[in-house]
Every structure is written in structure tokens, then in C-alpha cells.
């Protein structure tokens, strides 16, 4: 079935606005402040919040685990492929995939610069539900990738699907704490990083597809949007 209402995905775009600037500046500030805090250990309020989430009942894990895969590289790339196919715009699929890869690499770099361990590694009592026991924690790669994916996807979703996309990102962030893989500040910093990179690649994608900077107002769905 073909038509404007036959799919959740539509090719669209919008011009960069002052709200985008404010949002990006706030994300950068959160990422930077979070890094400074994370380099000096784990504040007691953060540890308390981690423990309250991590100690929730085990039955939640099979529920959140599949959604958490949206923060994995393979899961996010699968969504990028679907976006390219469903919107019939390879610029969308390619730029989303590039944003995901860039986010993964930058997250690794930030981890090395900050050097904070994961919850188990910093001496907290952890109910571990994830294989990521050791290694570095700030930032959460899953939170970064999921938020980057959301930033790239949401302009191409019809209005009624956007709250679902946001809920999925929040579940990924929650699941990384609940599984024992990350501290709360790790996922907050990861989300900020993902938003920054996603916004940059969104501008690149719209420029590629339309030949101009994104529009302030959402464009109407193009007639070849498909089911």
C-alpha cells in the first residue's frame, strides 16, 4: 500500500533554529560537566540512585533487554537500514549509519579521556545482569548510540510515533543502569554525546538530500513515501 499515511517514516527536514543551538549547547555543557565529575569518582547521590535502580526485581530484565539492543551498533544500524528503505532516501540511511559509527568511536575516545570504571570497578555492590563487568564507564556507548539514533530518526517519524521513540531511548538508558553496566552519570553523558553527533549529521543529511540547510518548519511528506 502506497501513500502519505501508509508508513511511520517520511522524508522531511527543518532549518536550524535557536532551539537547536540551545539544545546542542546544553548537551555539550552536560557532557563536559559530567566528565569533570566522573573523573573525580562517584558522588554519593549518584551511587544511591544507581543502587535504587540496580536493585529492582530481576523480572524486568527480559522486558528491557530487547529494547536495550537499540543502543548496540548492530541494532542501531538495522534501524538505519530500515529508515533508508522506508523513506526511499539513502541519504537518510547512510547519514544515520555514519552518525552511529561516529558516536561509537567518539564514545570510546571519551571513555579513555575520563577513565572512570564501571560500577563494579569503582567498588559498588552490583547486581550484574550484563556481561560488561570491567572496562570504562563514562560515557555509556549504548545511551550515546540510542540517543544519536533518536535524534536522526525523530524528524522522519510521524507525530504519533515520536513519543514511542523517546520512550525507547529512556528505556535504553534505564536498562544500562538496571543491568549494572553503567552509573547514572554515564548514561546522561552518553545521551548528551549522542544528541550532539546526531544533530550534526542531521544537518549533513538534509543538506545532502535537499541541497540547502534544513528548514525551520517541517516539510510535508514527499509523495513517494512508501509503506
> Is the predicted pLDDT of residue 220 greater than 50, yes or no?
no
Average pLDDT, integer, range 168-190: 96
The per-residue pLDDT for range 102-158, each reduced to its tens digit, is 999 999 999 999 999 999 888 888 998 887 667 899 999 999 999 999 999 998 888
The per-residue pLDDT for range 55-105, each reduced to its tens digit, is 999 999 999 999 999 999 999 999 999 988 888 888 899 999 999 999 999
Q: What is the pLDDT of residue 133?
A: 66
pLDDT confidence bin for 52, thresholds 50/70/90:
very high
Q: What is the pLDDT of residue 227?
A: 30
Q: What is the pLDDT of residue 100?
A: 98
Query: CA–CA separation, 227 vs 214, rounded Å?
Result: 25
Average pLDDT, integer, range 165-176: 97
Q: What is the pLDDT of residue 130?
A: 80
Q: Which residues contact 12 (CB under 8 A, 6 or more apart)?
A: 155, 156, 218, 219, 221
pLDDT confidence bin for 4, thresholds 50/70/90:
very low
Amino acid at each position: 500500500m502506497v501513500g502519505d499515511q501508509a508508513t511511520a517514516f517520511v522524508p522531511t527536514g527543518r532549518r536550524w533554529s535557536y532551539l537547536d543551538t540551545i539544545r546542542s549547547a546544553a548537551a555539550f555543557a552536560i557532557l563536559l560537566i559530567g566528565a569533570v565529575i566522573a573523573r573525580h569518582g562517584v558522588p554519593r547521590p549518584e551511587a544511591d540512585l544507581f543502587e535504587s535502580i540496580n536493585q529492582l526485581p530481576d523480572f524486568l530484565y527480559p522486558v528491557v533487554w530487547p529494547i536495550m539492543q537499540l543502543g548496540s551498533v548492530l541494532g542501531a544500524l538495522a534501524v538505519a537500514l530500515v529508515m533508508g528503505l522506508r523513506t526511499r532516501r539513502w541519504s537518510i540511511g547512510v547519514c544515520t549509519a555514519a552518525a552511529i559509527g561516529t558516536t561509537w568511536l567518539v564514545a570510546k575516545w571519551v571513555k579513555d579521556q575520563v577513565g572512570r570504571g564501571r560500577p563494579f570497578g569503582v567498588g559498588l555492590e552490583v547486581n550484574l545482569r550484563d556481561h560488561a563487568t570491567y572496562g570504562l564507564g563514562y560515557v555509556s556507548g549504548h545511551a550515546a548510540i540510542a540517543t544519536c539514533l533518536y535524534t536522526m530518526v525523530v524528524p522522519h517519524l510521524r507525530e504519533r510515533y515520536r513519543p514511542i521513540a523517546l520512550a525507547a531511548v529512556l528505556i535504553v538508558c534505564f536498562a544500562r543502569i538496571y543491568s549494572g553496566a553503567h552509573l547514572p552519570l554515564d548514561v546522561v553523558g552518553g545521551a548528551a554525546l549522542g544528541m550532539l553527533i546526531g544533530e550534526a549529521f542531521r544537518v549533513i543529511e538534509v543538506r545532502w538530500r535537499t541541497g540547502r540547510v534544513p528548514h525551520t518548519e517541517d516539510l510535508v511528506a514527499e509523495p513517494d513515501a512508501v509503506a
